[in-house]
Amino acid sequence: MKVAILPLGTLPKGLNLKIMKKFFAFLSILLLPSLVFGQTIRTLPTFNIEVVIYRLANILFYLLVLLSVIFVIIGGITIATSSGDPNRVELGKRIIVFALVGLIIGAVSFGIVNLFYGYIAAR
């Protein structure tokens, strides 16, 4: 299949320039009023940085709770499958303790963020 390259300013066969001009004039008559009367000023959405930090803290806290529960379960499974091996029992205990310490530190930091958010939101 050959593609014909037309010289500049010529139209393919069957394409009438008068019909094209009428079509584009009709199209512009239809579209221009929507452009003129549809001039609403759209601004970017506004957000408060304290709300963003509050929501981020909520998401991170829930993720932390989920991870700590998973690690407590992993520690329990490690202890249950240790078969009396003291190293595996100790490893399971350490996993559980570290998961709970991480949960406590996360809860304290979540409380601090909520405390500051409550103070800032009350202003």
Q: Which amino acid is at 26?
A: F
How far apart are alpha carbons 54 and 3 in whole angstroms? Answer: 61
- Does position 4 have pLDDT exceeding 80, yes or no? no
Residue 15 C-beta-side C-alpha neighbours within 13 Å: 8
Please state the domain extents for the chain: 49-122
Measure CA of the first residue to CA of the last residue in the chain; give whole Å.
73
Would you state the pLDDT for residue 79? 93
Would you state the pLDDT for residue 12? 61
Take residue 90 and report the two structure tokens written for it.
């100790």
**What is the DSSP secondary-structure string of 38-104?**
T----PPPP--HHHHHHHHHHHHHHHHHHHHHHHHHHHHHHHHTSTT-HHHHHHHHHHHHHHHHHHH
pLDDT tens track for 33-78: 666 665 566 676 777 787 888 888 889 999 999 999 999 999 999 9
pLDDT tens track for 80-93: 999 889 999 999 99
Predicted TM-score (pTM) of the model is 0.57
Which whole number is the average pLDDT over 85-109?
93
Instruction: Report the percent of the chain where pLDDT is more than 90.
Output: 37
